[in-house]
Amino acid sequence: MVVKLIGERWHVIYFVPDHNHDLVIKPSLKKFLRSHRGIPKQEKDFIVLLHGCNLSSGRIMQLTSEFYGSAQLVPYGGKDVGNFRSTIRRVEKYKDLQETLERFKELERQDPEFFYKIKLDDCEIPELAP
Between CA 110 and CA 104 the distance in angstroms is: 10
By CB atoms closer than 10 A (0-12, 13-18, 19+), residue 71 is: middle
pTM above 0.75, yes or no: no
40 Cβ contact list (under 8 Å, min separation 6): 75
Say what the pLDDT of residue 112 is: 87
Q: Over 60: is that where the pLDDT of 30 sits? A: yes
Q: Over 80: is that where the pLDDT of 126 sits? A: no
Q: Over 70: is that where the pLDDT of 129 sits? A: no
Residue 16 confidence class, pLDDT cut points 50, 70, 90: confident
Between CA 63 and CA 71 the distance in angstroms is: 9
68 φ/ψ sector (left φ>0, alpha ψ -120 to 50, else beta): alpha
Residue 35: helix, strand or coil by DSSP? helix
Q: Over 70: is that where the pLDDT of 19 sits? A: no
